[in-house]
Structure 1
Amino acid sequence: MTGPHIRELALADCDRVAEIRVGGWRTAYRGLMPQPYLDALSVPEDAARHRARFGQGDGSVVNLVAERDGEVVGWACHGPYRDGEVRTADAELYAIYVAPERYGEGIGQALLKESIRRCRAAGHPRMLLWVLRDNAPARRFYERAGFAADGAEEPFEVEGVEVPEVRYARELRDAGEGIQH
């Protein structure tokens, strides 16, 4: 099986990306977040948010989609690292989701590889990301891609339930691809 085709998000992709994102939350965060919160996630509301943000900003935030056989099967978003109001030279992977029925096909790896490539080409020294502390599958995914927890942890609360996040980092300068299959 060949890898997915990675391209920038088009306005017409917003509904499918919302389906993937909501499905990803409901699958990946089951047991980590309150189920009523996950059940209440709305694909139409998420799609509306994507459409409203489409084309806004200074172009520093990049939304990528993965296609296989003409179907959008994954989405990733990266841009400048968000440290409060302070901008750093680092990049941040804001989100990466794959349609749950397509897990294990290398789609997430392809999206991450392209995000890393673009951030490296833009001159970012590191890529950072936040992941739920107790999301072991996601943490293994990032570790296989050369990321490591750097000791930073942020509180995150969903409907009164603590779901802390840990920060992962990866050097981009003169680094190999680092994604193991």
Structure 2
Amino acid sequence: MMKAAVIRQALPADWFALGELQARSYHDAYRRLLPNDFLNKVTAESRQAGCRERLRDLREYTAMLLIDDRAAGYISLRFPAEAQGGEGKITALYLLREYWGHGLGKRLMACGLDRLRERGCAEAGLWVLEKNAGARRFYERLGFRPDGQERVVMRGDAFVQLRYEREIEA
């Protein structure tokens, strides 16, 4: 039974737990979508150093979902250089598999959109793997739509990502 779910800003001291969460949730999200050789290189240790730096960057914001005081999901944002009316970026939204389907991803997204709105953002954008149909449906249910932009990323092999965006209501 799931107890209290709390979303709070990740602090610089959370770098260790966030790195572990990033690695586990990344594996959960991409287990059947990305090559195993690539996924095997995504470890807590490989993520923790980056977390330590990003949690000190004032242009970025990360919120962690804690369940029973354990990290279960997170959302990361990048704020635009311009103060008002710019587009905020959702750079990551991940949840451990055991918490999928409970509305927690939707709560994380709402938290992220609230932070972007507070920073004066009029739109939010994100990138999603073209072949990640589940994530695409999730974002579409939350009002995101593909804007026609694509890019190729290397994740062991070349993969296409689609750019999604949505307006942020005032």
TM-score range relative to shorter protein: 0.7 to 0.9
Q: How many residues align?
A: 166
- For structure 1, list consecutive stretches of 5 or more residues without a partner in the other structure: 83-87, 175-181
Say which SS state the counterpart of residue 163 (structure 1) adopts: strand
Alignment of 1:34-73 (within 5 A): 34-55=35-56, 57=57, 59-73=58-72
Counterpart-to-counterpart distance in 2, 1:114 and 1:52: 22
TM-superposition CA deviations, 1:144-164 (whole Å, max 9, x none): 1111111111111223x2211
Give the conservation status (yes or no) of the 8 Å contact 1:60–1:79: yes
Cα deviation for residue 26 of structure 1 reads 1.5
Unaligned stretches of 5+ residues in structure 2: none
How far does the alpha carbon of each residue in 1:58-109 deviate from its partner, in whole angstroms, 9 at most, with x for none? x221111111222221111002359xxxxx8100000011122222222211
Amino acid at match of 2:45: P
Partner of 2:118: 121
Partner secondary structure for residue 40 of structure 1: coil
RMSD: 2.0
Q: Deviations over 1:32-81 (max 9, x none)?
A: 221111012121121122113332x3x22111111122222111100235
Q: Give the drift of 1:142.
A: 0.5
Q: Which residue of 2 aligns with 1:11?
A: 12
Deviation at residue 17 of structure 1 after TM alignment? 1.8
Cα deviation for residue 2 of structure 1 reads 7.4
Contact 2:113–2:124 (CA<8 Å) still a contact in 1?
yes
TM-score under structure 1 normalisation? Answer: 0.83
